Amino acid sequence: MKYFKENGASLRWIATGLLFTLFWASASTATKYGLEVAEPLVIALTRFGFASLLILIVAHGILKYNLPKGKQWTMLLVYGLLNITIYLGLYVLAMQKVTAGIGALAVATNPLFIGFLSVVFLKERLRPVILAALFLGIAGVVVASYPLLQNASVSWGGLLIMLISMLSYSAASVYFNRKDWGDLKILTINGWQTLIGGLMLLPFAMLYYHNKANHFTLKFFGSVLWLAVFVSIFAIQCWLWLLKKDAVKASMWLFLTPIFGFGIAAVFLHDIISLFTVIGVILVIVALVISQLNKNEQQIIQEELTINE
């Protein structure tokens, strides 16, 4: 009986980890599909609206969680601005100028930027390992992008926009950890910051909207629903479950996201996997491993709990 109980728990851990990695890594490919038929900000706003609606219905309609109050609304506004409006707004714009694989690889470097910004804003000690990991991570993305820059599949402008979006996400994570959220549940924070961040993105989407560039086909709604349900909601719940069980081991699943990201892009979008791709992915994985050295469980929870869409 003990054997089946232990192995059942192990199988659930592996299954949940694989599902998280699969869905999290699929975001860039799903975004690319949507960009074939619609403008980036239209995709983003539809995704945010649908995801936030579902989350808030569950949080307040079913689970009866408390509504934010007082200064919590200001905190949600700042967090939504950094984590949704700027980060994901720029991310979906950058995806017009980079491949799905490079997009997934860039997202995998987020923990490296979080570690670096924690030194700047949380006044943590600047360890050589942090700089080494950040350098390797950026180098990995550049190496993987090199052959794609030659055939215009990736542009330097796209990489720059992606870098700014990563910095905004990392700043959002640091901001989240610096603030006392009181009795607000993670589900409540996630739902409201997604809604508020999306609303702040609305004026830009309206300003640059071109009716002929948007075709609300099955491809569009399939892309949005996948991003909203399987990435914004399901992947996050898998991640939080993994963190609750073992924060240190949970971080190991992040190392697989670049591999899954390129694999999914290769299968569904026929992205080319070259020697540069392999070297770039290895550099990013090594950087992620290095970044986890000498971290205790609480540090990992603080830096990675706010992993989002």
pLDDT digits (tens, 9 = 90+) for 24-73: 999 999 999 999 999 999 999 999 999 999 999 999 999 999 999 999 99
* Predicted model pTM: 0.85
For the chain, the domain total comes to 1
Domain presence at residue 5? no
Q: Which residues fall within 8 angstroms of residue 62, CB to CB, at 6 or more apart? A: none
Domain presence at residue 30? yes
pLDDT digits (tens, 9 = 90+) for 91-109: 999 999 999 999 999 988 8
pLDDT digits (tens, 9 = 90+) for 127-173: 788 888 889 999 999 999 998 888 778 999 999 999 999 999 889 88
Domain presence at residue 229? yes
Selected residue with higher pLDDT from 12 and 291: 12
CB burial class (10 A; 0-12, 13-18, 19+) of residue 234?
Answer: middle
Domain presence at residue 18? no
Domain presence at residue 184? yes
Can you tell me the distance from the alpha carbon of 33 to that of 17, in angstroms, rounded to the nearest whole number? 25
What per-residue confidence (pLDDT) applies to 108? 86
Domain presence at residue 84? yes
Instruction: Give Cα 1 to chain centroid, integer Å.
Output: 39
Domain presence at residue 239? yes
Residue 190 structural domain: 25-304
pLDDT digits (tens, 9 = 90+) for 166-215: 999 889 888 887 889 999 998 899 899 999 999 999 999 999 899 999 99
Domain presence at residue 1? no
Selected residue with higher pLDDT from 285 and 237: 285
Longest dimension (CA), the chain: 63
